[in-house]
C-alpha cells in the first residue's frame, strides 16, 4: 500500500526527472543530428556529393538547437519554486542526478517550443484568434462588464497548456484558474507568466526538430520571438501554481 509519503516522494522524483530532461535537451538533440551525420558519412563519396546541402543544413540545425538550449537554464532558474505547496527542496530524499531523464521527455521539450510559438509569439496570433476568440467572445457575452463583478466569476481552463487563454480571461477581470498536468508546460508557463518582463526578449526555433511537412530546410530553421505582450500592467500580479 502506498503512503502519502511514498506519493510525495514519487512525485518529487518525477519532477526532478522533468528537470533533468530539460537539462539534457542540448545533448539529446545533438545526438539525433550526429546520428544523421553518421548515416550520411556512411554513403559513398559519390553519393555524399549529391547531399552537400543536406550536410550544411544539419550543421545549421545544430546552431538553432544550441540557441534553443541556451534558453533552458533561463526557464530552469525558477523551476524549483513554482509550486506553493509541494516540491520544495527540503521535501525530498532524491537528487537530480540520481533520477535520470524521461524516455518520452525530449519530445515534450520540443512540443513546448511549438507551444511557445502558438501561445506567446506574434506568429501564433492567427491560430490564437481562431481557437481562443470564440471562447473569449462567449464569456464576454455571458458576463458583460456592466452587469457583473467579474472578479466574482470563477472560470476554469481545462488543459491550459502554456496559459495564454487563462491569461486572456484573467486580464479581462475574471478570476481564472488554468488546469494542467504536464510539468513541462507548467514550468515554462511559470517562467512566461511570472518572469518574462521584456517584449520579444527570447528567440526560439519551434520547428527545428520537424523533418516532415517543410517546404524547405529554411522553413525548419524559422525562429520566433516571445513574449509579445507588455506585461507591465500585470507587474503586481503573481500567477500562482
Ligand atoms: C491539446 S493541448 C491544448 C493546450 C491549450 N489549451 C491550447 O489550446 O493551446 C491539451 C493540454 O491539456 C493537458 N491535459 C490533458 N489531460 C489533462 C488532465 N487530465 N489534467 C490536466 N491537464 C490535462 C495536456 O497536458 C495539454 O497541455
SS (H, E, C) 177-228: EEECCCHHHHHHHHHHHHHCCCCCCEEECCCCCCCCCCCCHHHHCCCEEECC
Predicted confidence at residue 232, as pLDDT, reads: 45
Helix (H) or strand (E) holding 40: helix 25-41
Q: pLDDT tier at 59 (50, 70, 90 boundaries)? A: very high
CA atoms of 220 and 152, how far apart (whole Å): 45
Q: Is the confidence at residue 8, as pLDDT, over 70?
A: yes
Best residue among 126, 161, 167 to mutate for probing ligand 1's pocket (most ligand atoms within 8 Å of CB) is 161
Nearest CA to ligand 1 atom 6: 160
- Can you tell me the mean pLDDT for 164-184? 94
Q: Indicate which residue's Cα is closest to atom 10 of ligand 1.
A: 159
Share of the chain above pLDDT 70, in %: 88
What is the 99 CA–ligand 1 centroid distance (Å)?
A: 25
Is residue 160 in contact with ligand 1, taking CB distance under 6 Å? yes
pLDDT tens digits, one per residue of 68-110: 999 999 999 988 888 865 555 555 555 656 677 777 778 999 9
- pLDDT band at 186, cuts 50/70/90? very high
97 preceded by a cis bond (ω within 30 of 0): no
Cross-strand partners of 178: 157
Helices within 42-163 (DSSP H only): 45-50, 52-76, 96-99, 105-120, 125-142
Domain residue ranges of the chain, discontinuous segments joined by +: 4-234
CA distance 177 to 163: 9
Distance CA 82, CA 100 (A): 21
> Beta strand pairing status for 202-204 and 154-158?
unpaired
Q: How far is the CA of 223 from the centre of ligand 1 (A)?
A: 24
Flag whether pLDDT at 141 surpasses 90: yes
CA-wise closest residue to 161 among 185, 192, 190: 185
The answer to whether the predicted template modeling score (pTM) of the entire model surpasses 0.75 is: yes
**How does strand 154-158 pair with strand 175-179?**
parallel
Share of the chain above pLDDT 90, in %: 70
Residue 184 alpha carbon to ligand 1 centre in Å: 11
Ligand 1 centroid to Cα of residue 30, in Å, is 28
Of 136, 159, 183, the one to substitute when testing ligand 1's pocket (max ligand atoms within 8 A of C-beta) is: 159
Tell me the pLDDT band of 166, cut-offs 50, 70 and 90: very high
Mean pLDDT value across the chain: 88
Per-residue pLDDT at 195: 86
| β-pair partners for 158 | 179
Amino acid at each position: 500500500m502506498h503512503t502519502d509519503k511514498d506519493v510525495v516522494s514519487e512525485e518529487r522524483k518525477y519532477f526532478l526527472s522533468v528537470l533533468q530532461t530539460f537539462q539534457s535537451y542540448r545533448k539529446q538533440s545533438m545526438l539525433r543530428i550526429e546520428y544523421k551525420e553518421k548515416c550520411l558519412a556512411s554513403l559513398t563519396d559519390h553519393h555524399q556529393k549529391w547531399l552537400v546541402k543536406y550536410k550544411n543544413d544539419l550543421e545549421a540545425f545544430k546552431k538553432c538547437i544550441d540557441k534553443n538550449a541556451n534558453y533552458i537554464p533561463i526557464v530552469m532558474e525558477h523551476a524549483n519554486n513554482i509550486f506553493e505547496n509541494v516540491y520544495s527542496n527540503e521535501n525530498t530524499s532524491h537528487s537530480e542526478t540520481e533520477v535520470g531523464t524521461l524516455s518520452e521527455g525530449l519530445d515534450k521539450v520540443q512540443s513546448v517550443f511549438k507551444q511557445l510559438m502558438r501561445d506567446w509569439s506574434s506568429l501564433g496570433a492567427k491560430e490564437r484568434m481562431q481557437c481562443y476568440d470564440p471562447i473569449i467572445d462567449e464569456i464576454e457575452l455571458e458576463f458583460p462588464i456592466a452587469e457583473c463583478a467579474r472578479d466574482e466569476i470563477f472560470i476554469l481552463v481545462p488543459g491550459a497548456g502554456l496559459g495564454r487563454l487563462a491569461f486572456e480571461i484573467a486580464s479581462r477581470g475574471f478570476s481564472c484558474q488554468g488546469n494542467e498536468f504536464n510539468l513541462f508546460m507548467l514550468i515554462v508557463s511559470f517562467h512566461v507568466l511570472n518572469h518574462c518582463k521584456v517584449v520579444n526578449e527570447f528567440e526560439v526555433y519551434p520547428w527545428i526538430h520537424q523533418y516532415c511537412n517543410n517546404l524547405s530546410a529554411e522553413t525548419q530553421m524559422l525562429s520566433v520571438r516571445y513574449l509579445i505582450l507588455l506585461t507591465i500592467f500585470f507587474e503586481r500580479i503573481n500567477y500562482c501554481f
